[in-house]
Amino acid sequence: MKKDDLSLAKITRPSAVGILPRRRLFLRLDRLHSRPILWVSGPPGSGKTSLIASYLDVRKLSCLWYQVNQTDSDIASFFFYLGLAVKKASPRFRRPLPLLTPEYLMGISTFTLRFFEHLYGRLPPPFFLVFDNYHLVAPDSPLHEVILNGVSVLPEGMNIVLISRSNPPPVFAQLHVHDRMEFLEWDQLRFTLEESREIVRLRAPKIHSKEVVQRLHQITGGWVAGLLLISDAVRRGFEPQSLEKVISEEIVNYFGSVIFNQTGEETRDFLMKTAFLPRMTVKMSEELTGAGNGEAILSGLTKNNFFIERLPADMPVYQYHPLFRNFLLSRAKELLEQDTISDLNRRAALLLEESGQTEDAAQIYMGQKHWKGLIQLIMKHAPSMMAQGRYQLLEKWLTALPEDLVEKTAWLLFWLGSCQFPFDPSQSLRSHEKAFKLFREEGNMEGTFLSWSSIVDEIEFSHNGLSRLDHWIHELEDLMRDVKEFPSPEIGARVASGMTTALALRKPQHPEFHQWVDQALSLTKSPQMMNVRMWVLFQLVLYGCLMGEFERANSALSMLTQLTGFKDVPPFLKIIGKLAEVMYHQFTGSHKKCMKALSEGMELARTTGIHIVDQPLLAHGSLSSLNVNDSKSARQFLDKLASTLNRIPSSEDLLDIRNRHIYHFVSARLALACGDLAELSFHTDLALKYVNEIEAPVFISFTHLLNAVALHRLGKKEEGLDQLQKGSLIATEIKSKLLDFNSLLTQAYFAFDREEEDSGLRLLNMAFALGKDQRFLNTFSGDPSMTARLCAKALEAGIEVEYVREIIQKRNLIPEKSSLQLEKWPWPLKIYTLGRFGILKDGKPIPFSRKAQEKPLSILKVLIIMREKGIRTEDIADIIWPEVNGDLAYHSFQTTLHRLRSLMGYSEVVQVREGHLTLDPCRCWVDAWAFERLLEEADIYWKEKIAEKAIQLTEKAMALYQGPFLGMDAEQSWKMPVRERLRNKFLRSVSKLGDHWSQAGQWENARDCYQKGFEVDDLAEGFCRGLMVCYQRLDQRAEALSLYQRFEKRLKAVLGIEPSEKTKTLRDALTKKTQSA
């Protein structure tokens, strides 16, 4: 027979041949279909299993039968065998159901739900799932919750039957309360008198007396096992009159002894010895007993219904009823020598192992303390059990061994450490370190390398105390000096993968880092190594992002994305692929792509129950939201992240420190962006505490830089400078361009704050030159206001203007109030009103028909006039629709406002708050507003006698003034005061600047300045006279006299007056000097 036939006996439906159909209970079972769950309970031998098996057979109902045993308390073993059962029941589905491997442990309930959903999807209703021998499950076993979760998604047309010797465990009470469970208990299972007559008639036709049958029924109490035994005994010549002295509890032992003693010695020997096998084939029975007639004995027992069951398979599989097997084992203990029993156990275990029943074999080895056999079994099956996720069962076997035996056996220590890793990583690490030492001493390079990679994996995965990796990096370097090649490509791939990750986390600047990456990728080209290859590529994406090598990260991501698209990729690696996408898009500033990948990753986590990277996914979602200035979304992601943390720090959660650092780092970024200084101090302190426990230089540097900005914002500037220096030093040491970029920006920010303008601009120039070259669009140590300030400084100084504008646009940065006049800022909307009226949306003109858009544009112009203070909605309605009253005016306003927002394309630019309508000055640039702000700032500097800055601002303002407010628009009365105010401000500023240049003796500058004023107001005598003086000083007297003549003529024509005596005197002096020349 095939090896699998016996191992699948656990999931094989019992035969219903020869079982008395119990029509009374069949009808009851028909009525119970309305409840999805049926609990069948009764003592051993009460016919529970036979009833359900025969019912399903008679009613021709499909089923999946699962024999529960103690092994199923390890729920990974339960899912493994249940998956085999489903595969057997629905072979047309080629893809197996998932195994409960460690990545699912954080979401077992979700895994269970999805597992059962897939299971039900492969089994067409009506269908029954039968879990037999459920009483063997321990009261505190997690299997109960698994079954409950499976029940919760049970579809219509599916029923679950649980067969047990006892009542349901307390956790099942909810099913009864919600009327989802029906019961078939011992009182209903008992044979009635009629059923007892029928079975006695079939098994012992010699009994004709109704009184005897009635007495048998009374003695057994309708217990079918007793009826069967008595019937068999009578059939063998036993006198039923002697039954007066027998009570039901003794029936099995009593009649077992009667029948056993009447059996031939050869058969008795066969029965006792085969009882050491929980199930067997003919070949196994013959090999264990030495009998050559095993098939005849087993067939005869089956034919006579002698408490033996034949399970359907390609080749027959037999198993004794538990009651009868227990009797036979007790008799063997009485009759056989201890050495014989030990030998039988040893050989039975070997036969069981050869037939695929490793759990039963291990149970015998442990019971007999046959350590050699158990060790051989462990060594043979450990790799496959690890792959199946059956860590806890394997650990149970290992811990059953004497401790001193494990401690001096390298492979046992290795497998023990591997089992412990998901549940006790610190103990796992100790076991693997001991194994490494023993392997090294033995010269076993296979074990040495496997132990090394396991140790490194455990340290890396914990993200705690990563400095421990330094020792193991050196250990591998020493090993590689002695070993020229790995024992196998698979081992080489594991080692190269581990070294790649170790160097990335601790020594990213290591000169051999890329050599290890290349080796890892080279060794993982085969399909069998795809999982390791994907992990290496993920680490390369992370490395490229953190080091600012985005092209390398993108190349790795492309390969990783291609692999995640394959059909058989484990869900965990698919989620890791999504995390890689999220990271890359967050670092490179592609917010929409980041959000898409995040949504897909979280959905995968939800549907698979794999939540091991929920925290990094949510953290990057929050950071990406902060990068686009969306603090609301950032807060939402952060709140979800917070909900995943342990309430208090937990040493049992191997990812607790990583998760807490992530949470506090992102929380500090959000607090910084929102200006919440109390929260900022709290979170930066804890982020620094946890990152120092992690001991990854790149994360330490990022945290120092963030802490530097936080302390600076909190007024602790010296402490902030110290943090900046620490972060910058690490950035230089590990050669991370991204960290250098953030460090330079932070240094520039500090310099500007100290009013060291030149130093700040030099650092800013270096930062943005590096950023442009590497395509850095996001920063990780500051907040949006800091970045906005630095970008404004760069634009004012003409530093990498197009690149800086791209940063601003990508990140939705809002300028500081001091930068609202900055025309180079990439405003969503720019509105020009001086000398013309035009609107630019994202740098392109908005076309509009003046007549069609007259009313919406009139609202816009009113809002421009009112500036930040805005206007009440009813007042604007009075201005635009003076002839309309009441509701009609309000309705017209609402309609027109909608049209205005549609025209502009940015609805948030026009704000309505508490009945006031305003333009948002942070999203909309208006030349008239910028003009006035510049002049206001210039006035401050004039008063403070800071001439250089005042001149710079005044000249910027003058450049903006291209003509009267709203150009050639119709002269509505509400526009005129603003037009005059702006014109007068321009003229005053020109006069002030011209006078400054004159006093400074810079006559050409003065001339140009006065000329601009004169062009706007050719009746302004001060500009005319100022120009004449400039021409005089520049020895251009003819130009001065020509100007005077034009001015005099213009003044008389328009105002009917002559120039002042002061101007005439200047004219006379110029004339006289010209004549004398």
- Is residue 1037 packed enough to be buried (19+ CB in 10 Å), middle (13-18) or exposed (0-12)? middle
Contact 51, 32 (CB under 8 A): no
Predicted confidence at residue 905, as pLDDT, reads 83
Rounded-to-integer distance, Cα 786 and Cα 101, Å: 46
Predicted confidence at residue 258, as pLDDT, reads 62
Nearest to 223 by CA among 245, 192, 253, 246: 192
Q: What is the rounded radius of gyration, in angstroms, for the C-alpha atoms of the chain?
A: 44
Nearest to 45 by CA among 254, 188, 190: 190
Determine the length of the chain: 1077
Task: Name the residue with higher pLDDT: 307 or 382.
Answer: 382
Helix (H) or strand (E) holding 34: none
Going by DSSP bridges, is the β-strand pair 838-841/829-832 parallel, antiparallel, or unpaired? antiparallel
Residue percentage of the chain with pLDDT more than 70: 95
Record the tokens describing residue 763, joined without a space: 């650092």
Average pLDDT over residues 609-616: 92
Q: pLDDT-based confidence at 233, cuts 50/70/90?
A: low
Q: pLDDT-based confidence at 899, cuts 50/70/90?
A: confident
Q: Check pLDDT > 50 for residue 794.
A: yes
User: First-to-last CA distance in the chain?
Assistant: 131
Contact 13, 65 (CB under 8 A): yes
* Amino acid occupying residue 107: G
Contact 8, 84 (CB under 8 A): yes
Task: Name the residue with higher pLDDT: 462 or 304.
Answer: 462
Least confident of 17-21, 225-229, 383-387, 462-466: 225-229
Rounded-to-integer distance, Cα 209 and Cα 892, Å: 105
Render the burial of 759-775: b for 16+ CB within 10 Å, e for the rest. Answer: ebbebbbbbbebbbebe
Contact 318, 311 (CB under 8 A): yes
The CATH H-level superfamily of 4-189 is P-loop containing nucleotide triphosphate hydrolases (3.40.50.300)
CA distances to 4, 248, 278, 319, 726 from 7, in Å: 5, 35, 11, 13, 62
Contact 557, 585 (CB under 8 A): no
Q: Check pLDDT > 60 for residue 970.
A: no
Predicted confidence at residue 246, as pLDDT, reads 45
Rounded-to-integer distance, Cα 3 and Cα 6, Å: 6
Q: pLDDT-based confidence at 1, cuts 50/70/90?
A: very low
Give me the residues paired with residue 181 across strands. Answer: 37
236 phi/psi in degrees, rounded to 5: -90, 5
Give CA angle at 980 (979, 985), nearest 5°. Answer: 105
| Listed ranges 35-39, 94-98, 437-441, 653-657; the one with the highest mean pLDDT | 437-441
CA distances to 541, 557, 620, 760 from 551, in Å: 10, 10, 20, 29
Predicted confidence at residue 58, as pLDDT, reads 93
282 phi/psi in degrees, rounded to 5: -60, -45
Rounded-to-integer distance, Cα 49 and Cα 484, Å: 61
Contact 580, 562 (CB under 8 A): no
Q: pLDDT-based confidence at 971, cuts 50/70/90?
A: low
Nearest to 780 by CA among 814, 809, 815, 737: 737
Q: Check pLDDT > 60 for residue 249.
A: no
- Calculate helix-pair angle for 338-354, 322-335, nearest 10 degrees: 140
Predicted confidence at residue 365, as pLDDT, reads 95
Rounded-to-integer distance, Cα 724 and Cα 731, Å: 10
Give CA angle at 1035 (1031, 1036), nearest 5°. Answer: 50
Q: Return the residue matching tokens 């010269």.
A: 443
Rounded-to-integer distance, Cα 858 and Cα 256, Å: 106
Average pLDDT over residues 814-829: 82
157 phi/psi in degrees, rounded to 5: 90, -5
* Amino acid occupying residue 239: E
- CB atoms inside a 10 Å sphere around CB 246: 15
Provide CB contacts within 8 A for 265, sequence distance 6+: none
Record the tokens describing residue 695, joined without a space: 């001991």
pLDDT in tens, 626-660: 999 899 999 999 999 999 998 787 666 778 899 99
Query: For residue 98, is the peptide bond before it cis, meaning its omega torsion is within 30 degrees of 0?
Result: no
Average pLDDT over residues 276-299: 91
Please tell me what DSSP assigns to residue 1024.
Answer: H
The overall pTM is greater than 0.95:
no
Q: Check pLDDT > 80 for residue 796.
A: yes
User: What are the residue ranges spanned by the domains of the chain?
Assistant: 4-189, 724-814, 829-927, 932-1076
Render the burial of 652-685: b for 16+ CB within 10 Å, e for the rest. Answer: ebbbbbbbbbbbbbbbbbbbbbeeeeeebbebbe
- CB atoms inside a 10 Å sphere around CB 836: 14
Instruction: Give one DSSP letter per residue of 634-701, joined into a string.
Output: HHHHHHHHHHTS-SS--SSSTTHHHHHHHHHHHHHHHHHHHT-HHHHHHHHHHHHHHHHHHT-HHHHH
Q: pLDDT-based confidence at 304, cuts 50/70/90?
A: low
Instruction: Give one DSSP letter per residue of 351-400, joined into a string.
Output: HHHHTT-HHHHHHHHHHHT-HHHHHHHHHHHHHHHHHTT-HHHHHHHHHH
Residue percentage of the chain with pLDDT more than 90: 56
Average pLDDT over residues 545-554: 96
Provide CB contacts within 8 A for 53, sequence distance 6+: 13, 14, 15, 16, 19, 65
Predicted confidence at residue 245, as pLDDT, reads 44
Rounded-to-integer distance, Cα 807 and Cα 745, Å: 13
Please tell me what DSSP assigns to residue 589.
Answer: T
* Amino acid occupying residue 897: L
Provide CB contacts within 8 A for 571, sequence distance 6+: 98, 103, 604, 608, 610
Domain 829-927: give its CATH architecture: Orthogonal Bundle (1.10)
Least confident of 7-16, 680-689, 977-986: 7-16
Nearest to 88 by CA among 1, 2, 4: 4
Rounded-to-integer distance, Cα 91 and Cα 4, Å: 15
Helix/strand/coil (H/E/C) assignment for every residue in 448-515: HHHHHHHHHHHHHHHCCCCCHHHHHHHHHHHHHHHCCCCCCHHHHHHHHHHHHHHHHHHCCCCCCHHH
Q: Do domains 4-189 and 932-1076 have the same CATH topology?
A: no
- CB atoms inside a 10 Å sphere around CB 988: 13
Contact 256, 330 (CB under 8 A): no
Contact 1040, 1023 (CB under 8 A): no
Record the tokens describing residue 69, joined without a space: 């045993």
Rounded-to-integer distance, Cα 792 and Cα 764, Å: 11
Q: pLDDT-based confidence at 247, cuts 50/70/90?
A: very low
CA distances to 467, 549, 887, 890, 913 from 917, in Å: 59, 47, 18, 13, 7
Average pLDDT over residues 856-868: 84
Torsion of CA 742, 746, 747, 753, to 10 degrees: 160
Q: Return the residue matching tokens 């009440």.
A: 872
Rounded-to-integer distance, Cα 520 and Cα 72, Å: 38
Average pLDDT over residues 718-739: 96
Across the chain, mean pLDDT equals 89
Record the tokens describing residue 457, joined without a space: 């994996």
Predicted confidence at residue 256, as pLDDT, reads 64
CATH class of 932-1076: mainly alpha
Contact 1019, 1004 (CB under 8 A): no
Rounded-to-integer distance, Cα 545 and Cα 737, Å: 10
Q: Check pLDDT > 60 for residue 425.
A: yes
Contact 318, 330 (CB under 8 A): no
Rounded-to-integer distance, Cα 145 and Cα 589, Å: 44
Rounded-to-integer distance, Cα 104 and Cα 101, Å: 6
- Is residue 902 packed enough to be buried (19+ CB in 10 Å), middle (13-18) or exposed (0-12)? exposed
Q: Check pLDDT > 90 for residue 514.
A: yes
